[in-house]
């Protein structure tokens, strides 16, 4: 995909998606970190159903760590992999307290050292909480990048590398949310809604459909 086409693609997405931001509910970087850990293999909707009560009762790393795994689990049991996630949340809070003065670190290496935090989660925190120009590649972005010809790759990491090469600098901060929201509501996995797609003229997938 040509550089001019990519710039046009993001201009169109930005005009259509007025709020290029996460749909997870959070009030600070700590709440975002916990919400993103919980969102692994779960929908934002399901996470948003459990985090308000969790954060209302345990709003800090100290309080979650003191509460322990069982009490955290009682709040998040409706989402997937809840037992493992409760362990990771409590263990993450312990590390935040012990090594980071109860603050969410701003370095990738320190984020990825936290239980339940991989590269994608670290990228989400860096981008959403701290405004870093990085792209977290989830299933939606991996699918879209390959489908439309934006940045193809066989692995999530390769797609991320290719996106960082081709996405214009001015769009890097918002690219993650623009792509994920487009994938969530328009360029869906099984039935992409090409009839409602604002970037259909730039999409290589749509070219094949209408040949």
From 120, 170, 207, 208, active-site residue: 120
Long-range contact pairs involving 157-162 (C-beta distance under 8 Å, separation at least 24): 157/119, 160/119, 160/123, 160/135, 160/136
Torsion of CA 184, 54, 110, 118, to 10 degrees: -40
CB 88, CB 115: distance < 8 Å: yes
C-alpha to C-alpha distance for 73 and 60, rounded to whole angstroms:
16
From 138, 158, 174, 207, active-site residue: 138
C-alpha to C-alpha distance for 86 and 90, rounded to whole angstroms:
6
Q: Is 44 a catalytic residue?
A: no
C-alpha to C-alpha distance for 99 and 105, rounded to whole angstroms:
9
Q: Which residue has the tokens 């935040």?
A: 96
Q: Is 193 a catalytic residue?
A: no
C-alpha to C-alpha distance for 47 and 68, rounded to whole angstroms:
19
CB 167, CB 144: distance < 8 Å: no
Positions marked active-site: 120, 138
């Amino acid at each position: 995909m040509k550089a001019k086409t990519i710039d046009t693609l993001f201009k169109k997405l930005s005009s259509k998606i007025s709020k290029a931001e996460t749909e997870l509910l959070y009030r600070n970087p700590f709440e975002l970190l916990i919400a993103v850990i919980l969102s692994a293999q779960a929908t934002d909707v399901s996470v948003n159903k459990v985090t308000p009560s969790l954060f209302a009762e345990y709003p800090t790393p100290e309080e979650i760590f003191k509460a322990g795994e069982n009490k955290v689990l009682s709040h998040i049991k409706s989402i997937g992999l809840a037992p493992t996630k409760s362990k990771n949340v409590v263990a993450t809070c312990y590390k935040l307290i012990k090594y980071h003065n109860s603050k969410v670190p701003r370095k990738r290496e320190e984020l990825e050292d936290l239980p339940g935090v991989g590269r994608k989660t670290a990228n989400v925190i860096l981008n959403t909480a701290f405004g870093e120009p990085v792209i977290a590649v989830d299933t939606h972005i991996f699918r879209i990048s390959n489908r439309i010809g934006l940045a193809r790759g066989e692995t999530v990491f390769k797609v991320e590398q290719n996106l960082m090469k081709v996405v214009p600098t001015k769009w890097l901060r918002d690219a993650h949310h623009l792509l994920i929201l487009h994938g969530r509501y328009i360029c869906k996995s099984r039935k992409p809604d090409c009839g409602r797609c604002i970037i259909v003229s730039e999409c290589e997938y749509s070219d094949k459909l209408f040949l």
